Structure 1
Amino acid sequence: MKVMVLSSYAPTLFLFREDMMTAMLENGHQVIAAAPEPEYEWENEFKKRNIKYVSIKGIERTGSNPFSDIKGFLSILKVIKREKPDKIIAYQAKTIAYGCTAAKILNVKEIFALMGGLGSVIRSKNGKSLAKNILKIEYKLAFKACNNVFFQNKDDCNEAINTGLIKKQKIVMINGSGVNLKKFTNKPLPKKPIFLFIGRILKDKGILEYIEAAKIIKKRYPEARIQILGSFDTNPTAIKEDYIYKYVDNGLIEYLGSTNDVRPYLEKCQVFVLPSYHEGTSKSMLEAMATGRPIITTDAPGCREPIIDSVNGFLVPVGNAEKLAEKMRWMIENQDEMAQMGRESLKICKDKYDVRKVNDVILKTMNLKEAREDQSII
């Protein structure tokens, strides 16, 4: 069986979906990875894993140029027609919107979509937004073309159903992207208070609240270290580099750059912090839990699911820097309880978020592996 995995960003496809593609290979299937980045940049990395990489030119992950989107749609059509996959699974907004519809036009036998989250455009409160209304139409057409659509949290699932984007019977729930527990292992907590955020530098990730909380914490605990690891972005909610470096220069926060391997940074932190406004289910959070870190995150879609409040971390209101700082301060002042929260994180991760369990559901739904009884279809 030949399976094509479509994404609008090769680095994310490589880092977040490698385990899924490997599972497909282990079950005897051919895998083709498709993303906009040039083949000369990524072909060898995928080839090392026996995955063929092809470029779908024209897809701009965060762009809004309709002519570019048309070019991207035609490129996807061309690639699908050339590669002739038996099944397609699309991941990320634009490749879901265009890839699933293109696959339907070309009579691909089975089509699936993997939702990381509905995103800031759909979740915008501006109901008259042109971009929002266009994306809703695109999603509705794409989901109609799909055999099944994988969702990572009930909030996104219910929103999609209630707004008429999808019929309930097509939805399959999975526990996020899962985490590779052989790659991410329990690590002892350092003795110094080090807080770490991992993610793109976006307003929607709660970066502004994180910085405001850092101001509160550093006044009382100047030895505390407040770190940011992640890339700057072209997303509409992206925060400019000069804003971040202003606080780096005055010693408030540490910017660690971006990386393809977060493990050394997780190992050096005490507490993982994600004040995001919404997620699918944060993979970085699951990776932090797998290393035995307590979590502070928001009571928001895709953030709240892995957290049992006051057990393996804390849930704080979205956009509330004071509450965020309050829980960061608690972690500093209650080291024994904080360490116990880290142990609970690891336990929850093993019980629920093992990537092998997540991939089992995906492969069984796609008829790429024999089904077992724990498949969760709502």
Structure 2
Amino acid sequence: ELKVNFFSFERRSMNIYKEFISIINLYSIIKKENPDLIYTTTLKLSLYLLLINFFSQKKIINNFSGLGYLYVNNSIKIQLIRFFFELMLKLFSNKNFIYIFENKRDLDYFVNKNILKSSKCFYTNGVGVDIHKFKFLKRKFTEIFNVTMVSRIEKSKGVYEYLEVVRSLESSSKYKFHLIGKIPENADIKLIKLLTKCKNQKNFHYSSWTDNIVNIYNITNIAVLSSHMEGMSVFLMEALSCGLPIVATKIPSNEEIVQNDINGYLVPLYSPQEIIIKLNLITENFEKYSNMSINSRKICEKKFDEKIILEKFRKIIEQEC
């Protein structure tokens, strides 16, 4: 019999009282349901479970899809929280904890700093992608190239830089830009103003949501992700599977997906002009574009097929649990 218990918490809340209540509520659920195995995918819940498991002693799998806000923001307050989080990991992690990282550099960070033991850390290439759903589509060289980015509308996701590219190429008839993603409640005002300006351009389309992302990929020629910090991007893995050349920022997770001049290009952070240069390189001739498209699909089949990823998970769970 399947049963669902709902547990809610604020992702970025730092209110001590609220956090204490959240920990108590989660502990109550665990005590009542008495699970054999607990699986979590967020840093905050990992911290909760470190404290709770001091009393409950459950087997816990922590899947770090990315290090997120805690490792993007470098304010003094966040640095102190990060220090506390890493100290808690070091002090309270025990044989009951397993850590799965979706990119190698995140794993190396925690192991090399002696925060976690290498014997309890494992690495997978993200969550993988259904290569049969996201099919390879042979691309035609065209007069207008559709460029797509799928992301939450946040500055840390590099949306500002992407929109600067859109603004810079407002008069270009070579590109049509697409942006898909929800606007969070605490959206950056400057970013929203820029998005509003872009909406007035004929070569730009924004949508907060689509119920058929495959159709979007089918009309897309190039995928762009200018994020400042990212786990293994589902968007980029789906783009790979569909055979899209990619322009992405040079961050650890993207380096797992994009091979320079093979299936796309990596660009420095905060560099809209570099994105424009790489878009022009990809579209300068059909042979380059076609080769990058084919290479994207090959990389996906070799590294990111969800069957490969699920098999890795199965082996880890069998070995450790």
TM superposition score normalised by structure 1: 0.76
Letter in 2 for 1:193: F
Q: 1:62 to 1:183 in 2, by over 3 A?
A: farther
Offset from partner CA, 1:168-192 (integer Å, 9 cap, x none): 2211010111111222211243633
Q: What's 1:270 paired with?
A: 221
Distance 1:240 1:54 in 2: 37
CA contact (8 A) 2:70 2:82 kept: yes
Distance 1:124 1:347 in 2: 35
Query: How do 1:331-370 residues align onto structure 2 when only pairs under 5 Å count?
Result: 331-367=282-318
**Selected match of 2:152 from 200, 212, 220:** 200
Letter in 1 for 2:214: R
2:99 partner SS: strand
* Structure 1 residue 61: Cα displacement: 1.6
Q: What's 2:31 paired with?
A: 81
Distance 1:75 1:171 in 2: 28
Query: How do 1:1-378 residues align onto structure 2 when only pairs under 5 Å count?
Result: 52-57=3-8, 59-108=9-58, 110-126=59-75, 129-140=79-90, 143-144=93-94, 146-189=96-139, 191=142, 192-219=144-171, 221-234=172-185, 241-251=192-202, 253-259=204-210, 261-367=212-318
Offset from partner CA, 1:2-36 (integer Å, 9 cap, x none): xxxxxxxxxxxxxxxxxxxxxxxxxxxx8xxxxxx
Q: 1:104 to 1:320 in 2, by over 3 A?
A: same
Offset from partner CA, 1:274-326 (integer Å, 9 cap, x none): 01112221111001111111111111121111111111111111111111110
Q: 1:210 to 1:145 in 2, by over 3 A?
A: farther
Q: 1:290 to 1:224 in 2, by over 3 A?
A: same
1:179 partner SS: coil
Q: 1:313 to 1:242 in 2, by over 3 A?
A: same
Distance 1:332 1:355 in 2: 30
Structure 1 spans left out of the alignment, 5+ residues: 1-29, 31-50, 371-378
1:183 partner SS: coil
CA contact (8 A) 1:202 1:235 kept: no
1:228 partner SS: strand
Offset from partner CA, 1:191-213 (integer Å, 9 cap, x none): 33010001111112111111222
Q: 1:188 to 1:62 in 2, by over 3 A?
A: farther
Q: 1:239 to 1:101 in 2, by over 3 A?
A: farther
Distance 2:75 2:116 in 1: 21
RMSD: 2.6
Q: 1:211 to 1:363 in 2, by over 3 A?
A: same
CA contact (8 A) 1:143 1:166 kept: yes
Offset from partner CA, 1:82-110 (integer Å, 9 cap, x none): 221111111112222213542452122x2
Greater alpha carbon shift after TM alignment, 142-151 vs 116-125: 142-151
CA contact (8 A) 1:176 1:281 kept: yes
* Structure 1 residue 269: Cα displacement: 0.7
* Structure 1 residue 231: Cα displacement: 1.2
CA contact (8 A) 1:184 1:287 kept: yes
Letter in 2 for 1:329: N
Q: 1:76 to 1:214 in 2, by over 3 A?
A: same
Letter in 2 for 1:200: R
Structure 2 spans left out of the alignment, 5+ residues: none
Distance 1:54 1:245 in 2: 40
CA contact (8 A) 1:97 1:142 kept: no
* Structure 1 residue 140: Cα displacement: 4.1
Number of residue pairs matched? 318
* Structure 1 residue 243: Cα displacement: 3.6
Q: 1:159 to 1:368 in 2, by over 3 A?
A: closer
Q: 1:102 to 1:237 in 2, by over 3 A?
A: farther
CA contact (8 A) 1:206 1:274 kept: yes
Distance 1:169 1:369 in 2: 10
2:229 partner SS: coil
Distance 1:111 1:369 in 2: 10
CA contact (8 A) 1:195 1:273 kept: yes
* Structure 1 residue 52: Cα displacement: 3.7
Percent of matched pairs sharing the same residue: 24
